[in-house]
Amino acid sequence: MIERILTARPRDLGGFEVRRILPAGGRQMVGPFIFFDHIGPARFAPGTGVDVRPHPHIGLATVTYLFEGELVHRDSLGFLQSIRPGDVNWMTAGRGIVHSERTDPQVRAQGAALHGIQSWVALPRDSEEIEPAFVHHPHSTLPADEREGVRLRVIAGSAFGLHSPVATRSDTLYVDLHLAAGARLEIPAEHEERALYVAQGELQVADARVPTGSMAVLDRGTAVAIRALQASRVMLLGGAPMEGPRHIWWNFVSSSSERIEQAKDDWRAQRFGRVPGEADFIPLPE
């Protein structure tokens, strides 16, 4: 039932902690998901908050989904968008985009909380160089359902008879699950690759216990029954595998190592677009 269990690695991002689960040794992706960070939960004193300065991406889509708190997104296309719990910010980098994420000044003044998931979805080879785009989906537009101790919301793709309005470039599975203690749910085999990330609580998956901060990558082709050993918040993710592995360096993802080198040169030379209203520049890591 379980191919393997991955354990998140803590990382300090300067004032708050994330737990990184993908990419992992021996497992770069689950479906198109190539990067998966569990942010927080974090608390910021009044006057402090998140300041992710403008930085570039290519060859992927970033997906921001919050459980608690608020972030303000700005990008080189000119979009300015606050994201709140249950909303989806889906930014397609394609041939190149720059964005920043910061705590809203009014929220910062009061003291902020932040908890959620930041993930990257790799683009198929024929879509890696598409025009960049940004779409925001309020939580009310995402399909939801309740059943015997389980509340679920389909963030992207199709699951449990529901279909998200979020447009994707490949078959994608992404679902937010709330399970009461003792609740059971069968994960169908309709998607080729699937994994369960336990953001809070603990699951029983087959004969294995999967605690907070762990991801169970499920075997292909078989339905899997899960049970919540305590009240749990779980992200179900996956979809069709990519056509092959990807090169990943800093914020760049591509099927071509030469394209990664070009992106490095473009950032050094400041040939990427600029984020309106932002003056900060992050030098290329060396």
d(CA 194, CA 185): 14
Question: Is the pLDDT reported for residue 54 higher than 80?
Answer: yes
Predicted confidence (pLDDT) at residue 16 exceeds the cutoff of 90? no
Q: Is the pTM of this model over 0.75?
A: yes
User: What pLDDT score does 180 carry?
Assistant: 98
67: left (phi over 0), alpha (psi -120 to 50) or beta: alpha
- For 59, phi and psi rounded to 5 degrees? 70, 15
Write down the pLDDT at residue 12. Answer: 80
| pLDDT category of residue 11 using cuts at 50, 70 and 90 | confident
pLDDT of residue 286: 82
Degrees, nearest 5: CA angle 127-128-133: 80
